[in-house]
Amino acid sequence: MQLSMWTYPWDVQDCGFEATVADLRERAGLTSVSLAASYHAGRFLQPRSPVRKVYFPEDGTIYFQPEARRWDKSRLKPKVADIVRNGDVLRDFVDQRARTGLSVSAWTVCLHNMRLGLLHPDVVTRNAFGDANPFSLCPSHPDAREYVCALVEDMSANYQPDAIELETPCFMPYAHGYHHEKDGVGLTAEDDFLLSLCFCPACLARAAKTGVDGEAARRTTRRLVAEAFERDIPRPLWPDFRRLGLDALRDHPEIQYYARWRTEPVTSLVAEIRNRAHPASKIYVIDILDGWLGGCDAAALGRACDGMIFCVYDMSAKETGDVIAKARAALGPGRFVGAGFRVFHPEMADSADLVSKTSAAVAAGAEGINFYNFGLVPAARLDWVRAAAAAARAL
């Protein structure tokens, strides 16, 4: 049973390496650390940091030392975060894992990169109106694909973490918590999905090679979104959209075919990452219940990599068990299935709530549990994690 906690390198630097190890292993009762190796910007409340209580990380940077020769073929280049000059935390965890007893997963944000999107607007996703999404590199674009593959190849070859957890190797949604994000229309789930469909030149060309008419899908998408913008109040286009998935689009087959095609660039990118990564590092994809919205097909991804971690945030114990059981069936035997929980209140009411949900995930077939997030929660909630970890081991 892999029991891990998503952790930021700046938290380790602020709290100290040995203190972090003690908190993870002794107080939280964990067997692994999932350390951010590539990450995006944000504003983070740091309740336990002795250095600061609010932190703004650099956007689109990496938290390890790259090897220059592995980037010769990549037009997009990584930027090492400034804090790495104060210490290579990934190196510390990897080199000392035998002593600490903690296995190491490199938590790697792939295509969510505003820094690179602004520098290279030709590689980002574009909606049906041609508007660029600079926060989201497109999985169809060769340069974006090469960047992510080089990132994982470099890190896995030179650090060889036990696993690499891929976040956003897919198409990102329109709404994702962007800085001062505003919506006066009141977008429905369907509207958000339609605005998230990418019709950049790379996507249209790649889809055309498989016989999918992206231009027809783009025209219908434009029309449906424009109609939504004319309504005085929001109105769902398709009842039970989230439950039905792509079947809800049956009256618009051109969009349905295009949306189904989107799994191809995502799955093939993950397969290429697995092929180029060092064999010592497992490759896992982090996904959500509605991963199809971003072009993720669990069964296909299970064949392309070593397993998946499903974020079962803000769900009941029963819902958690149902999601993990479905994931276990989709991935099949021989593939890792993990469950990720936010230890946020009031989403997680108390220790008993976390124990109940964690136990439901393990009973449904989860082989690992990830907790979010080491530096974002009060120290007292590490005791909740310890109780949940103990319950997971006992099953």
Q: Domain of residue 166: give its range.
A: 2-171+262-394
The torsion defined by the Cα of 184, 189, 195 and 198, in degrees rounded to 10, comes to 160
389 belongs to a structural domain: yes
204 belongs to a structural domain: no
214 belongs to a structural domain: no
**Percent helix, percent strand, percent coil in the chain, to nearest 5:** 45, 15, 35
- Tally the domains of the chain: 1
By residue count, the chain amounts to 395
For residues 195 and 174, is the Cβ–Cβ distance under 8 A? Answer: yes
Q: What is the CATH number of the domain that holds 162?
A: 3.20.20.80
177 belongs to a structural domain: no
46 belongs to a structural domain: yes
Cis bond upstream, residue 373 (ω within 30): yes
Distance, in Å, from the CA atom of 153 to the CA atom of 64, rounded to the nearest integer, reads: 13
**Closest CA relative to residue 38, chosen from 19, 57, 24, 22:** 57
CA 237 from chain centre, in angstroms, equals: 28
**Closest CA relative to residue 120, chosen from 76, 89, 158:** 76
Angstrom CA distances, 15 to 23, 137, 378, stand at 10, 33, 13
Q: Which helix (H) or strand (E) holds 132?
A: strand 132-137
The residues, any chain, with a CB within 8 Å of residue 357's CB and separated by 6 or more, are 312, 315, 316, 317, 320, 341, 348, 388
Q: What is the pLDDT along the chain (395 residues), one digit of tens a residue?
A: 999 999 999 999 999 999 999 999 999 999 999 999 999 999 999 999 999 999 999 999 999 999 999 999 999 999 999 999 999 999 999 999 999 999 999 999 999 999 999 999 999 999 999 999 999 999 999 999 999 999 999 999 999 999 999 999 999 999 887 778 899 999 999 999 999 999 999 999 999 999 999 999 999 999 999 999 999 999 998 889 989 999 999 999 999 999 999 999 999 999 999 999 999 999 999 999 899 999 999 999 999 999 999 999 999 999 999 999 999 999 999 999 999 999 999 999 999 999 999 999 999 999 999 999 999 999 999 999 999 999 999 99
Cis bond upstream, residue 346 (ω within 30): yes
The whole-model pTM stands at 0.98
298 belongs to a structural domain: yes
256 belongs to a structural domain: no
356 belongs to a structural domain: yes
